[in-house]
Each structure stands twice: as C-alpha cells, then as structure tokens.
Amino acid sequence: MQAQRTILNLLAAAVLGLFLWWAEGHLDGYKIQILNLIAVNIILALSLNLIYGFTGMFSLGHAGFMAIGAYVCSVLILDPAQKEMLFILEPAYTWVQQAQAPFFVAVMAGGLAAAFFGVLVGAPLLRLGDDYLGMATLGFAEIVRVLAINLPRVTNGALGFKGIPGHANLWWNYAWCVFTLFFVVRLVASNSGNVFKAIRDDESAAKAMGIDVFRHKLLSFSLGAFFAGVGGALLGSLVATIDPKMFNFVLTFNVLMIVVTGGLGSITGSVVAGVVITILLEWLRVVENPLFIGDWELPGIPGMRMVVFSLALICIILFRREGFMGKREFNWGWLLRSLGNKAGRHGS
Amino acid sequence: MEAEAILTTRNLTMRFGGLTAVSAFNAAIPRGSIVGLIGPNGAGKTTCFNMITGFYQPSEGQVHFKGRDITGTPPHKVCHSGIARTFQNIRLFGNGTVLENVMVGCHVRQATGWWQAVLGLPSSRKEARALMEKSRELLAVVDLGDLADEKAGALPYGAQRRLEIARALATEPAFLLLDEPAAGMNPNETQELMGFVRDIRRRFDLTILLIEHDMKVVMGICEHIWVLDYGVTIAEGCPEAIRANPKVIEAYLGEEAVGHA
Ligand SMILES: Nc1ncnc2c1ncn2[C@@H]1O[C@H](COP(=O)(O)OP(=O)(O)O)[C@@H](O)[C@H]1O
Ligand SMILES: [Mg+2]
C-alpha cells in the first residue's frame, strides 16, 4: 500500500507537470497568471491552516510574514543597477545595494527571514490567551507595514519596488507549492501533527500528557511563517511590484477566507478552496466594472468583490462552520474504492 | 507504612483569594500501593491533584516525587518525570481518533522529532510504527481495540473514561492519578473498574492515587485513604478505620442532608 501510494503520488506529480507544460504553450498570459496565483494561494492557505486549522492559533499576521518574505527576496533578486535607479527617496544601504542571490536562495531567505520573525514575535505573543493572539498578530502585521514605509534605505519606503524580475514562473511556483504540500502532509501525518491537533483540541490535557505546549505552538507558528514568507516572496516576483500598501489586512483576509472555506484542519480543503477561490476572485472582478443592462448602466463599485466574498464567508460561517471539507482529507484508497465501485456497477 | 514512599506532600496548601481550598495536606504514598483521596464536593481533592501535577502553584508546601522536589514544576515536565493523570470532567482530544489520542500520550517518550518525520528518515518511520503498535496494545488493555479509528469525542461515556486512562498509561508513568474514574458509572461498571485498576497496577508496576467522591467505592480497592473536608485533612488511615471514624461520617452525613434539601 505504501509503495502503491508513492507511485500514485508520483503519477499525480507527472500529470501536474504535463498540465503545466501544456498550459505554458497553450494558455494566454492572463490565464497563466491565474494558475500562478493559485499555486501561491495554496502555499499561503496551507501555511495558515497549519497555524490556525491544525494548531488552533488564531493568527492574523500573515500579511506581515508575506511582506518580509517579499522584501527579502526582492532585494536579493533585483539587480544592483536596478536598485540604484529604484531607491530615489534615499540611497540604499550598501549591503542592500549589493545583496544578490539566485532565485531559489532568495525565496528560501525570504521564508527563513519570515520564520525568524515568527519566532521573535511568537515567543512573547504565544503565551497570550487565544483571544488576544488575533489582535496581537494583526498589530504585528501593521508594524511590518509601518517599518516598510519608514525604512526607506532598505525598502524604498512608500514607493516600494518596481520591476522585480519575474523568475516566479509556473515551474517555480508549482515546485514550491508541491514542496509545501508534501511538507505539511508529512508533518500533519506524523505524531507531531497529532500533538498540534491535541493542543488545538485541549491545551490542558496536552500539558498533562507531557507536551511542551509553548514549544510546539512556536514550532507550528514559525513553520507557518516560513511558508507565508515563501508565498510572499513568490508573489513579489509574480506581480513585479511591491509596496507597503499591498500588504494590508485584505491580503490576510483572502488567505483566511480560503482556509475557512476549505475547512480548518483539512489540507485537501485548502488546496481545493485555493483553486476555486482564486478563480472566483478573478472572475468577480466583473462586478467592479460598469455593468450594462440594456441602456442602463450600473456603475462599477471598487471593492465590491470583497463585499461579495465577505458575505460568502459569513454565510459559510453561519451555515457550514466546518467548511467545504470539514476535517476530512482526500486519500488514494478512498478514490480507488469509489472508482472500483463505479467500475463494478458498470460491469454488472 | 513500611514501603518506601514514591510521592510525599508536605504542608501542601492552596489559597484562592480568601478561600483556602486545601490546607496543609500531608501524605506519603508507598510505592506500588493504591490509595484514595475522598471527601464531599468542593473539599479540595481536585485542587490537590492540580498541585501535584503542576497545574497549580501551591501557596505553601512541597511535593516530592522519587526523592526530588517537583513543587512548581510545569505540568509537561511533571508528566515527563513519571506522573500521569486523568481529569474529573473527561478531557480527550475530541477531534482526533481513539488511536491518535493514545499516540499523543506516547509523544513524551518519543526520541525522533518533526523534521525526521518530514524527511521520512528510517529511524523516524521505525519509531512511528513502534508507537502505533504500543498504542494499539494499550487500547487492547482498556478494551477499545476495535474502536481505534473512531473519533474520540463520539465514544460513549464509559469508553471515554477508559481511553483517558489508556492515554495516561501511554506516557509510561510510575504514578497515576485518577480523578473520579467511577463518576457517572453504574454499580456494575464501577465493580469492573475496580478490578481494572488493580489489574493495571500489577501490569504496569504503578502506584495509584484515586479521587472518589463516593466513599463506598474506594473502600474496596484502597489500602490507605485520606479524607478532606473544606480543605482540611480530617482523617487518614486504612479503610476500616475510615469507615468507623465519626468525623468522616459527620462530613458525609452533612453532605447527604444538603444533597436532599
Ligand atoms: N482555579 C480556582 N480558582 C478559584 N477557586 C477554585 C479554583 N479551583 C478550585 N477552587 C475552589 O476550591 C475548592 C475546592 O475545589 P475542588 O478541589 O475542585 O474540590 P473537589 O475536587 O474536592 O470537589 C472549591 O471551593 C472550588 O470552588
Ligand atoms: Mg473534583
């Protein structure tokens, strides 16, 4: 069964590879951009699900970690000549000016920097009760934004970066996405995953079972921060432009929406909702454009799609608390069995 | 008591504001014994457990375990040192399966960590298999072998109590505290439980301290009993002595009268 699963996983990866190869040749830039966003959003959703869905820590700091990942990565992949042109408010520090790294290393550095800040803010904040963690992490994300504005020699202040090299193509994004998926699946399936879920379900009981609750919360939080940083790094390269405004609460909210819709504590849910909601978010841009009904023009309202999505989120929370998947997961055995049943019925 | 004491408490006292929930609790619990802590509702029994297991920092006094002072040690370290407990109001990991609950108990003795698991190292896989096997064995001991993959929160009440004990045993304790294990059970189940407690003591080489609200239940299995009333130890001794003690009878009669009012 173990070997069989490995083969099926490899097959699935091969199918994904073929699809990407096909997409690269046949889809237009806009569709490819959506595919890229799907990969990034899945990474972000998985990282928040690890923190919130599996370990029960209601964190609203994702945009902060993403910003750290995006800035670190961008500084490393921007050309020194480019940086010289970019920093018009104040010249960059020499180490910022000269920092250079290949894309993979830059993304990794973005993730590690975010994880480092995860430990730094997690150490004091995770001792707070759950009611305060949301507030405090929201504050953290806001501080990151304010710092980004006020450290012009590192971040170019409110102007941010433009023309970030677009290394984050389909292949890089999906490689990171698959790696994140692999990592989180392995982690959650391990006994450490059981421990995270135990902390989520009953912290006191977990302590009585000999679990160092604080240490495990910090672990989950900083691993989540790492992947949020990776997602931010990829996003920066993908959209080519970053500035402090981009990393506001809406960014965190989008990720939260994917996680809650998919199901807190369901990896499958995060993946499926990552695909569906990314597409819907793009598709819903329609409601922000003027709409013509006959001769009558309905003016487009900026931010309308967020209203639509917020309403949808409220409905999910009201009517389907556990999200699309609940805590259930996809597995090959289940798929094969249901296919087998169908085949059996057709045969008879 | 002749046998060497595995756990001793000295003047263990817990005050909540003006209320003294436990005052100067002194006990020396011999290794390998089954002993009881009884008393009416609100007498301070659970508070004693919470002080011993590190959930409460005692206002005064000390706890010594295997000759070491463990007063004020955080709960997870207390567990690591070999003390496991159950809760009066069952506290399972409700969303996890029965097996996962026991696996979490095994974690404190686990050598390989999260990154070995992510990398899929052979040492980690081997240990995961061993833990799984150990957990299944423990489930068999508490008669839950067939329910390993059920959701823990969906089990019937009695099964949840047994799962909590299995989970505690998974931490490989030398000393086990059971907080009202017979609560909510019918006389038949209670009888069975008493046999079961004796059985696990022998099998896992345990010392067991159990709280029972119901005095009659403990009389059957405890070798030594402490009686608390309003936080004060009003009596201690063998079951026969406790049964005949007028102070104990009075404390319980008082409660009955309140209970029927
Ligand atoms: N955390 C706490 N804060 C304040 N009072 C408490 C706390 N825990 C227990 N008490 C009080 O201490 C007394 C003893 O409680 P407890 O130990 O639970 O009794 P028992 O387990 O014997 O029924 C009760 O009056 C209870 O209200
Ligand atoms: Mg109690």
> What is the average pLDDT value for chain B, to the nearest integer?
92
ipTM over 0.90: yes
CB A136 within 8 A of CB A125: yes
pLDDT on residue B76: 98
Q: Residue B261: is its pLDDT beyond 50?
A: no
Q: Do residues B252 and B184 share a domain? A: yes
Q: What's the pLDDT score for residue A296?
A: 77
Residue nearest to atom 10 of ligand 1 (CA): B21
- The answer to whether position B90 is within a domain reads no
pLDDT band at B37 (very low <50, low <70, confident <90, very high): very high
Q: Which residues pair with B29 in a beta bridge?
A: B7
Q: Are residues B78 and B100 in the same domain?
A: no
| Within a domain: B87 | no
Domain annotation covers residue B11: yes
pLDDT computed for residue B185 by the predictor: 84
Run means of pLDDT, 10 residues per run, chain A, 348 residues: 85 95 93 97 98 96 98 96 90 90 98 98 89 93 96 93 94 98 97 97 97 98 98 97 94 94 94 94 78 74 77 80 79 78 58
Q: Which atom of ligand 1 is nearest to the CA of B39?
A: 22
Domain boundary among B111, B128, B159: B159
Cα distance between residue B214 and residue B183, in whole Å: 9
Please give all residues whose beta carbon lies within 6 A of any atom in ligand 1, as ranges.
Answer: B 16, 19, 21, 39, 41-47
Token pair in block for residue A9: 């996983």
Domain regions of chain A by residue span: 2-249
* CB contact at 8 A, A304 and A311: no
B 29-58 residues with CB < 8 A to A? 53, 55
Burial class (CB in 10 A: 0-12, 13-18, 19+), B62: middle
Joined together, the tokens standing for residue A239 give: 């959209």
**Which residues of chain B does A333 touch, with a Cβ-Cβ cutoff of 8 Å?**
none
- The pLDDT assigned to B253 comes to 67
Instruction: Reply yes or no on whether the pLDDT at B259 is more than 50.
Output: no
Query: According to the model, what pLDDT value does residue A50 have?
Result: 98
Domain range spanning residue B187? Answer: 5-82+173-260
Q: What's the whole-number mean pLDDT along residues B122-149?
A: 96
Where b means 16+ CB within 10 Å and e means fewer, B115-129 reads ebbbeeeeebeebbe
Averaged over B94-117, what is the pLDDT?
96
Q: Is B57 helix (H, G, I), strand (E, B) or coil?
A: coil
**Pair (B13, B139) in one structural domain:** no
Q: What is the pLDDT of residue A207?
A: 97
- Closest CA–CA distance from residue A214 to any residue of chain B (Å): 10
Domain annotation covers residue B165: no
Q: Is residue B191 part of a domain?
A: yes
**B60 found inside a domain:** yes
Candidates B23, B46, B214: which one to mutate for ligand 1, based on the most atoms within 8 Å of Cβ?
B46
A330 backbone φψ class: left, alpha, beta (φ>0; ψ -120 to 50): beta
**Cα B257 off chain centre by:** 29
Asked if B254 and B183 sit in the same domain, the reply is yes
Q: Which pTM does this prediction carry? A: 0.92
Q: Looking at the CA of B47, which ligand is closest?
A: 1
Gap from B176 CA to chain A (nearest CA, Å): 11
- Is residue B101 situated within a structural domain? yes
pLDDT band at B212 (very low <50, low <70, confident <90, very high): confident
pLDDT at B258 over 70: no
Same domain, B177 and B251: yes
Q: How far apart are CA B196 and CA A52, in angstroms?
A: 39
Structure tokens at B133: 């096997």
Cβ-Cβ pairs closer than 8 A, A with B, add up to: 102
Same domain, B221 and B182: yes
pLDDT of residue B255: 61
Atom of ligand 1 nearest to the CA of B17: 4
Decide if B150 is inside a domain.
yes
The closest alpha carbon to A72, from A37, A41, A114, belongs to: A114
What's the domain count of chain B? 2
Q: What is the pLDDT of residue A6?
A: 87
pLDDT tens by residue, B77-102: 999 999 999 999 999 999 999 999 99
Q: Which secondary structure element, helix H or strand E, spans residue A291, and what is its range?
A: strand A291-293
Mean pLDDT on B61-80: 97
pLDDT confidence tier of residue B190, bands split at 50, 70 and 90 = confident
Closest to A212 measured CA to CA, from B85, B110, B139: B110
Question: What is the domain-level CATH number for residue B192?
Answer: 3.40.50.300
